[in-house]
Structure 1
Amino acid sequence: METTSRVGPQGMSGGTQADGAAPATRGASAAHKAVDGYLRADFPWYGLDEAFTGPRWLMQVGAAADSVVEHGSTGHGDFPSLRLEASPEGQRFTVVVTVASRPVRRSGDGTGVLDATSVSTVAWLAGSGLLSCTWPTEMERGLRQDWLDQQTAIAWELADDLGGPGWSGLSLPVDGVPADFHYRESEYGWVLAGAAQEGVLVGAYGRGMSAYGLGFSVVGDITGYAH
């Protein structure tokens, strides 16, 4: 797979913070910090189009060692919670992942290059993002890490084999134009990955909201997600 070094489900190698990190809604200072990261990006951000009228919120951006922003996520619906009092089955959310398509990326120390980003990259980020917010909280603590390691390995292998039987095709509008996505479902939710306009890769993951019928569009004002 043409992607960064393998890491856990919290994000890509060199990322500043997990896609599963607390959203910008957790206080004004967090909101401003999150927005600042998104405003530093040299590529457009994607979210659900205007047909979605529910809550919108930000997670944190991921950046390379040289602080260049490489990916981030916009949230829609309920913010996924792993707290015991929250019922995962009752949560309805869709998280849209945007990744800069970079054929060549310099390493942080300037001595070499990193692997290119690809649709597999966004598939991995979306799959690991879903894992980070849907793992079974009722599981005995000592088994959780083993479960997470196992599921992370499966998500990695699936992202590396987008043409395999684990994926099906799904056409959804991106900026009003039909686009092809790789799509898969599991008992924990769904994941999809594809390309948007030139230079941008788009993926998504969700639970409780069907992927069928969703539409994606460029976010005109990212500050509107930081409520």
Structure 2
Amino acid sequence: MTSPAQPTSRQAESSSAPIRSHAPIIARAAEPSARDGHAAFLAAQLPWYGLDAGWRGERRLGSLCADVDGTVQYGSLLHGDAPAGRPGGDPQRRAVTVVTMAPLPRRPALRPDGTARGFVEASTVASAAAVAGIGLVEEQWPWHLDVAVRQHWMDQQRELAAQVADRLGDLPWRLLTLSVDLLPQVFHYRESEYGWVLATATQHCFLAAYGRGVSAYSLAFTRVSLADYDA
């Protein structure tokens, strides 16, 4: 992901056409308020994963992304330094975001009024990789660009991150074995100018992460207690 993608046309939606599997996750996830953050994460009933006890830095709740009916697609837990006020303003930032994604089946894509507008494809490792890739890009948007140009750049980069995630078996992806719940787990892993992204499928969920300033090779993942994370 070294250069902006060329603009791509989006297929028009219809009531019978399937929705592209990554379409829902490109939308920005909602961040729970400090008051109900822990309650929202607990209500999702996902097996939340984060970095193991070897991580000595800060831990915070991230965001949740849900279907219209309230079913949580995924959520993120943040580790390390918070984003700078201006992206790129803190080149020494050390941060890792861990994404836990529910293994959801193919399901109707609903409008806010409850009517169907197609289908959302089942969650996959590629879905988790796309979420992580888009998250990494969104932390690095080019502040120096005009607002309109900046949004165009972001749209291109989100689309490119999703396209790269659909090709997990090809370069720039390679395999990396890390620890998950004290057992070896093979991840799909790639690096870019913005940082790194990795993703895998566990027995209970899809697991992904992205970060910068921290070597992915040094990390281990485990199911965590949300009580250890600030809202």
Task: Give TM-score scaled by structure 1 length.
Answer: 0.83
Asked if residue 170 in structure 1 is aligned to residue 176 in structure 2, the reply is yes
Q: What SS does structure 2 have at the residue aligned with 1:35?
A: helix
Q: Where does 1:1-227 land on structure 2 (aligned, <5 Å)?
A: 4-6=21-23, 9-11=26-28, 17=30, 30-81=33-84, 83-84=85-86, 87-105=89-107, 107-108=109-110, 109=114, 114-196=120-202, 198-219=203-224, 221-226=225-230
* Separation of aligned partners in 2, 1:162 and 1:215: 21
Amino acid at match of 1:146: H
Q: 1:182 to 1:3 in 2, by over 3 A?
A: farther
Q: 1:149 to 1:138 in 2, by over 3 A?
A: same
How far is 1:71 from its partner? 0.6
Q: Is the 8 A contact 1:32 1:226 kept in 2?
A: no
How far is 1:10 from its partner? 4.2
Q: 1:115 to 1:100 in 2, by over 3 A?
A: same
Flag structure 1 segments of 5+ consecutive residues without an equivalent: 25-29
Q: Is the 8 A contact 1:8 1:152 kept in 2?
A: no
Q: Over alpha carbons, which structure has the higher Rg?
A: 2
Amino acid at match of 1:205: Y
Aligned CA-pair RMSD: 2.3
Q: 1:62 to 1:7 in 2, by over 3 A?
A: closer
How far is 1:110 from its partner? 8.2
Q: Is the 8 A contact 2:25 2:131 kept in 1?
A: no
* Separation of aligned partners in 1, 2:209 and 2:174: 15
- Percent of pairs identical after alignment? 39
Flag structure 2 segments of 5+ consecutive residues without an equivalent: 1-18
